[in-house]
Amino acid sequence: MQETFKDVNGNVITFTTKKGAFFKEPQHVLVICRYNDQWLLTKHPQRGLEFPGGKREGKERIQDTAKREVFEETGGIVSKLRFIGEYEVKLETESFIKSVFFASVDRLEDKKDYLETEGPVLLQSLPSDFSGKEFSFIMKDRVVELSLKEIKNIMEPVKKVGES
């Protein structure tokens, strides 16, 4: 599945569920997290509520970037990480690729410092759209919507033949 659309800032975004589709290594991550049957987000002081994420440091594996960012921004310890997709953000003079992961978080460690964020925020359910001003612009384009659709497919128990 691949879709191209504009984000709230007018940048062109291409989202795909195919790994390596952009012929360019992802240097950023967005991590959709579940903890205790809830969605785990972080609160950025300027942007608002968003799933944790950030930039790759040095030569770390992109999966390690995802785990590190979840811990830094929420205190969450990731027990399972699944690839969901990748998206390209095309700015005027450059473009970059972000990997989207789905993370199961085992434990939330209480920390004094969550780096640039205000720490973890747990939501029982997610709204049908993220247009509210409490949500970050990162949540407002089709990336999160399409990723959540993929996650729903993964989370739904496999139906047996003949079951409706």
Q: In Å, how far are 45, 60, 67, 106, 144 from 141, measured between CA atoms?
A: 20, 28, 23, 28, 7
Chosen residue from 70, 138, 144, 146 binding ligand GTP by CB under 6 A: 138
Q: Which residue in 3, 5, 7, 126 binds ligand GTP (CB under 6 A)?
A: 7
Calculate the CA dihedral of residues 107, 155, 97, 54 and round it to 10 degrees. Answer: -20
Name which of 84 and 89 has its Cβ closer to ligand GTP: 89
User: For residue 97, what are the β-bridge partners?
Assistant: 88
**CB of 48 within 8 A of CB of 133?**
yes
Per-residue binder mask for ligand GTP (CB under 6 A), 63-102, x = binder? --------------------------x-x------x----
Q: Which residues here bind ligand GTP, judged by CB under 6 A? A: 7, 9, 11, 13, 30, 89, 91, 98, 138, 141
